[in-house]
Amino acid sequence: MLSPQLSYKQPIVVSPDGKPVALTPWLVPIVWEGTFDPMLIDLIYRQKNITIATTVFALGKYTQFLKVFLESAEQNYFVGFRVHYYVFTDQPEQVPAVKMGEEHNLTVLIVPSSNRWQDISLSRMARLEKLIESRLINEADYVFSLDVDSKFYGHWGVETLGRLVGVIHPGYYQTPREQFTYERRPESQAFIPYSEGDYYYGGAVIGGLVEDVYQLAKTCREQLDIDASKSIEAAWQEESHLNKYFLYNKPTKVLSPEYLWQDQIPHKDRVKILRFSQIIKNYADVRPNL
């Protein structure tokens, strides 16, 4: 049984007795296995005729992860619903030919290469903002932006949909707030003091209604631009600004670490089911400036 949200100054994800917490302090769901009926919720959403856009950034050597990402997505990700992948890449010839399910489509968007992995990260919000302005506002109902160096291991469906969706980072879901790697320098627009913060959200998953994700991307891009004008780069680039945005614009649905794990972290006895996880890799082999 899942525990209700306990009264703590810092929101918790797992209660002291080890049970997953089902609600945030602002009374929106934290999605864990057992908190939803997949057959019932699928039935409800099938009547809505929705389209889910999904953006993936595969630049430089990160194109090597596309095949696993797409093949595993086609087995687990919004199966039976209309999905349109938008792959941002500087190497379109490296995009693999993966068999798409019914009403699943893929569009390749060519972008310039970069000599710094940080620049790839920093440009993500701007590219997402422009894509929504130019296409998604008329082509999709929901949008998820997902990291390509990841694999789907289990069901990911409409239980994840909401106006604004964040995922709790697997490295910090049982960590005191003071140890979160928020941006701590007051001169940055991403600054969060040690006394504030809810959860530490992973930047590998951003989602929600197209118009709500647009506001998130636009605001974060503006804050990133302000920082850049002062030669400031937040500790974790767009992830730092995402956490600042979510502090003052609370997600309407929070995904548990089932929806963002890391393969190097043992998951047995920690999560009931592994749904989406970042692949083990040598960053020196894939990042251009390491």
Residue pair 183/203 in contact (Cβ under 8 Å)? The answer is no
Annotated catalytic residue: which of 129, 183, 233, 239? 239
pLDDT at 123: 83
Backbone angles phi, psi at 105, to 5 degrees: -135, 160
Tell me if residue 21 falls in helix, strand or coil.
strand
Domain containing residue 43: 30-279
Ordered mean pLDDT values, 10 residues apiece, the chain (290 residues): 53 86 95 95 95 95 95 97 97 95 96 69 86 96 97 98 97 92 97 95 97 97 95 94 97 98 84 93 57
* Spatial CB neighbours of 137, under 8 Å, sequence gap ≥ 6: 210, 211, 214
Residue 4: closest CA among 40, 35, 38? 35
pLDDT at 7: 40
Number of domains in the chain: 1
- 208 part of a folded domain: yes
Which amino acid type is present at position 78?
A: F
- 45 part of a folded domain: yes
- pTM, to two decimals: 0.92
- 233 part of a folded domain: yes
CATH of the domain at 62: 3.90.550.10
CA distance 16 to 183: 28
- 154 part of a folded domain: yes
Tokens 């687990």 found at: 76
Which amino acid type is present at position 130?
A: K
Could you confirm whether 233 is annotated as catalytic? no
